[in-house]
Amino acid sequence: MKKIFISFLIVFMLVGCASSSDEAGKSQKSNEKGGTLNVAYMAQPPTLDPHATVSVATTEIGRNIFESLLAFNERNEAAPLLAESFESSEDLKSITFKLRKGVKFHNGKEMTADDVVASMERWRELNGKANTYFSKSEFVKEDDYTVVLKMDKPFTIAKYILATNINFPAIMPKEVIENAPKAGVKEYIGTGPFKLEEWKQDQYIKMVKNEDYQSPRNELDGLVGKKDPMVDELVFHIVPDESTRTAGIQTGEYDVSLEIPHDNFAALESDGNLETMTYTNGFNTVVFNKRNGLFSNEKARQALNLAVDKKEVMMAAFTDEKFYTQEHGLLAKEFVSWYSDKGKDKYDEYDPEAAKKLFKEAGYNGEELTILTTKDYNEQYHTAVVIQENLKKIGVKSKLEIYDWATLMEVREDDKFYDLMPMSYQVATDPTQINFLDSRTNYTGWSNSPEIDQLLDQLMVAPSDEEAKEIFGKLQEESWNYLPAIKFGDIDSVAAIRTNVKNFEMFHGPVFWNTTKSD
């Protein structure tokens, strides 16, 4: 079994990493080329246009077709991809991108600054985070191979947002952009190592090798550097059923199968025809309704943090320690440029008797609290059950309101409908992606902390990466004081790969461009 780290937006996420070691993230090298790689994939993407959706399926499938100016290297630094280089101005109010020359779209046209400006402006309009943070910015053509991002104020972490892997700023031909509706482009023409050949809805998405692919010259490094499309065809089979994905990888119908049920892990691990890997793909939380009800009081939120056994939650939700990690950090350890120990003392707290006292101080009078959950995602349901049991032990009444996922997404907008809601989130690649922090986005649970908002503002304009990291530490500590949500730990998922498949990696999602398959 291999264990690696991946930033991965969970299928049931509301929105939209670290390096894997040579041993943990890569298979044995192979020079064999050709053939068809069959992938059992969990979900049908709503579109393959990365500008138009935060769907993980769109990201993971679409990035074989499309590329962006920047992407993350193995150290999770923003690094050039379609850009040859990039440089921030001294006042941090502009970034100049020098484009790689000779890069061709799948239609044979060379990529120039006109295509980049059109693509980035459309992405800035459609991407929620970009629209928030770059609302008064613009991308400007300086010459055919130079583009400048001009911002109205210093923005230290702009490069991280530009390198984002979810809802990413794919570069497309200008003429495609000009004819594109907001719901998604109709022509999927990118610069990536594979070209779309056929999309049969709810069955498969078939790509073929881009024979004219212009790879970066430097060595492969995370999502940047040398990409070599080694197989002739890459086919994503849409297989929502877990048991079908499991059976298919065992029989050889599929070469790679993602999101294998934890219950099947032992059987697959012992199969000599398979290799298994676990990968961190998100974190498990409970979100508070901070606008109405008991948990609008900070003391009540602190009381729940004391009342709930975080290890018990993770074990119930994920069945075995190999499938989760107890971790307090809002940005994971593998993000060395951001990771902070701040708040760990609050994460480690577990004191039911102190919780009783705090609930009383917060005004709890025996009323029944509502925990909103779904059985569509077992981990959320099991998290809700453990919270309910832990509350019962200290005399706090609660009930579970259980809905299908689509209905839950609707009713969670009603601030009078629930008190608590277990939720799973993506592994954020920068502080702006931690969606429950910023009161101005009010993404989940209606956060309202002037202190957190102020720290976010300071972080955006920090004069250096080092100072931004220091501010983030303060932000994380304040988050554990204010508690917009309680993080229980990081979540691991399972992939299975046939042993005749080499060089398959997971880094911010599955990486197929250097993967080979032998007979």
Write out pLDDT tens, residues 286-307.
999 999 999 999 999 999 999 9
Please say if the pLDDT value at position 438 is more than 90.
no
For residue 25, tell me if it sits in a domain.
no
What local confidence, expressed as pLDDT, does residue 439 receive?
Answer: 82
Buried b or exposed e, range 146-160, using 16+ CB within 10 angstroms? ebbbebeebbbbbbb
Give ∠ CA 249-250-251 in degrees, rounded to 5.
95
Is the domain of 216 the same as that of 296?
A: no
Is the domain of 164 the same as that of 303?
A: no
Is the domain of 202 the same as that of 291?
A: no
Structure tokens at 49: 């246009």
Number of independent structural domains in the chain = 2
Q: Extract the runs of DSSP E, i.e. beta strands, from 151-298.
A: 194-200, 204-209, 233-238, 256-257, 274-288
For residue 26, tell me if it sits in a domain.
no
For residue 5, tell me if it sits in a domain.
no
Work out the mean pLDDT of the chain and round it to a whole number: 90
Whether the Cβ atoms of residue 489 and residue 324 lie closer than 8 Å to each other = yes
Is the domain of 396 the same as that of 432?
A: yes
What local confidence, expressed as pLDDT, does residue 279 receive?
Answer: 86
Is the domain of 294 the same as that of 412?
A: yes
For residue 29, tell me if it sits in a domain.
no
**Rounded mean pLDDT of 129-153?**
94
- DSSP letters for 330-342: SS-TT-TTT---T
Distances (CA, A) of 18 to 75, 335, 472, 502: 6, 6, 18, 21
Measured CA to CA, the distance from residue 481 to residue 469 in angstroms comes to 19
Please say if the pLDDT value at position 7 is more than 80.
no
| Residue type at position 147 | V
Is the domain of 200 the same as that of 244?
A: yes
Is the domain of 250 the same as that of 141?
A: yes
Which residues fall within 8 angstroms of residue 517, CB to CB, at 6 or more apart?
Answer: 32, 35, 36, 37, 231, 255, 498, 500, 501, 502
| Residue type at position 268 | L
Measured CA to CA, the distance from residue 212 to residue 106 in angstroms comes to 8
Strand pairing class (94-99; 83-88): antiparallel
Is the domain of 157 the same as that of 303?
A: no
For residue 24, tell me if it sits in a domain.
no
Name the 3-class secondary structure at 377.
coil
Is the domain of 63 the same as that of 204?
A: yes
Measured CA to CA, the distance from residue 308 to residue 486 in angstroms comes to 10
Whether the Cβ atoms of residue 390 and residue 312 lie closer than 8 Å to each other = yes
For residue 269, tell me if it sits in a domain.
yes
For residue 174, tell me if it sits in a domain.
yes
pTM: 0.82
What's the pLDDT tens digit per position in 152-198? 988 888 999 999 988 999 999 999 999 888 888 989 999 999 999 99
Name the 3-class secondary structure at 366.
coil
By residue count, the chain amounts to 519
Confidence band, pLDDT 50/70/90 cuts, at residue 431: confident
What's the pLDDT tens digit per position in 350-367? 999 999 999 999 999 999
Containing domain of residue 215, as a range?
Answer: 36-273+499-517
Please say if the pLDDT value at position 17 is more than 90.
no
Measured CA to CA, the distance from residue 227 to residue 214 in angstroms comes to 9
* Higher-scoring residue by pLDDT: 433, 298: 298
Rg (alpha carbons) of the chain, rounded to whole number: 23
For residue 28, tell me if it sits in a domain.
no
Is the domain of 127 the same as that of 49?
A: yes
What's the pLDDT tens digit per position in 464-503? 888 989 999 999 999 999 999 999 999 988 999 999 999 9
| Residue type at position 86 | F
What's the CATH number where 107 sits?
Answer: 3.40.190.10
- Which helix (H) or strand (E) segment holds residue 371: the answer is strand 369-373
| DSSP 8-state code for residue 354 | H
Whether the Cβ atoms of residue 38 and residue 28 lie closer than 8 Å to each other = no
Is the domain of 266 the same as that of 290?
A: no
Structure tokens at 120: 């980035």
- Counts for the chain of helices (H) and strands (E), in that order: 16, 22
114 CB neighbour count, 10 Å cutoff: 15
201 CB neighbour count, 10 Å cutoff: 8
Is the domain of 214 the same as that of 291?
A: no
| Residue type at position 33 | K
Measured CA to CA, the distance from residue 212 to residue 39 in angstroms comes to 24
